[in-house]
Amino acid sequence: MSREINAFTAIIYRQLKRWISSRSRVVSIIIQPFLWLFFIGVGFGSVFSGNTPVQFDNIPIPINSTQIIQTYFNKLFGGVDYVTFIVSGLVVTTAFIGSFISGISVIWDKQFGFLKESLVAPASRKIIILGRIVGDSIVNTIQALLVVAVALPFANGLKLENIPIGLLYIFITALAFTGLGTALSLKFSSMEGFQMIVNLLTMPLMFLSGVFYPLAQMPEWMQSASKLNPLTYSVHGVRYWLAGANVGFEYMNWHLDLAIITVFAIVLLAVAAEMFEKATIED
């Protein structure tokens, strides 16, 4: 038993050490949400805030259009301003994309041999792959935390006291998608192929998760797709805690969110572990 724990922590240690030694990876993962934040968040944020002067020439009664528009949008975004709304979601997508991409390190290890080293080790393979997924999930949760930290000056509606519980949701989400990325990459031998699948999957999952706009405003068919997207629940849950905004479908609440992402994570971890157990160098 102690040997299994040793192996587990050794692999977590490895993933963390690798992360620390590759600064470019850290930077690129954090820059991406900032591009979103600035180009979409700040851009749309000012549109949605109601501060943009809109002239209603043909309305005879003098009304305060700014206030009305602001109230409207705040109601739309769950009572918070758009920047807070989007930051609380981008935190999740940062972890989501980061996790998905961590799978690529399996391909990397396939090409550079470390995979063989872990395949001949006497430690249980399930433990090794779980250690790997947990290690990468810790990395991605830390990255999400960094995004929160850097976004604080822009998003004034964030609830600092709820960050730990938000991170818990993010960690579980990271476990799930690292599991998925790992399982996929065990089947791929080229980076290009994996990269393609990642691009193919991340964009729709991200846009259907309600990070950028409230789900209730989407067309019927998109709503149905969103309901099947596990990321939707993660975004809803994290936003509920971090921004205090309940923006989603009526049936959603933070218990349900937690339950769904946990089940999803367990299933994917089991799949990844099973696949690694059977892995030979032939795959």
Partner 1 sequence: MSEIIVVENLVKKFKDVIAVNDVSFVVNRGEIFGLLGPNGAGKTTTIHVIATLLKPTSGRVLVDGINVSEKPQLVRKKIGIVFQDPSLDNQLTAYDNMYIHGKLYGIEKRVLERKINELFELVELSEFKNKQVRYFSGGMRRRLEIARSLLHEPELLILDEPTIGLDPQSRNKVWEYLRKVRREYDMTILLTTHYMDEAEELAGRIAIMDHGRIVAMGSSEELKSMLGRDLILLRFTGNPETLCNKLSFAKDCKLTSDGRMEVLVENASRSIPEIFDVANNNGIKILEINYRRPTLNDVFLHLTGRELRDHLEEAVPPPPRRGFRW
Residues that bind partner 1 (CB under 8 A): 2-3, 6-7, 9-11, 13-14, 17-18, 21-22, 112-124, 128, 187-190, 192-194, 196-197, 280-283
- For partner 1, give the closer residue by CB, 108 or 254: 108
Q: State the minimum distance, in angstroms, from the CB of residue 142 to partner 1.
A: 18
Measured CA to CA, the distance from residue 138 to residue 95 in angstroms comes to 10
Contact predicate 11/178, CB 8 Å: no
Contact predicate 232/254, CB 8 Å: no
Q: State the minimum distance, in angstroms, from the CB of residue 98 to partner 1.
A: 17
- For partner 1, give the closer residue by CB, 23 or 255: 23
Q: State the minimum distance, in angstroms, from the CB of residue 131 to partner 1.
A: 10
- For partner 1, give the closer residue by CB, 4 or 34: 4
Q: State the minimum distance, in angstroms, from the CB of residue 6 to partner 1.
A: 5
The residues near 170 (Cβ < 8 Å, ≥ 6 apart) are 91, 92, 95, 140, 141, 144, 234, 238
- For partner 1, give the closer residue by CB, 192 or 250: 192
Measured CA to CA, the distance from residue 94 to residue 85 in angstroms comes to 15
Residue 25 DSSP symbol? H
Q: State the minimum distance, in angstroms, from the CB of residue 91 to partner 1.
A: 27
Measured CA to CA, the distance from residue 40 to residue 32 in angstroms comes to 12
Measured CA to CA, the distance from residue 138 to residue 176 in angstroms comes to 12
Residue 162 DSSP symbol? G
Measured CA to CA, the distance from residue 258 to residue 253 in angstroms comes to 9
- For partner 1, give the closer residue by CB, 9 or 156: 9
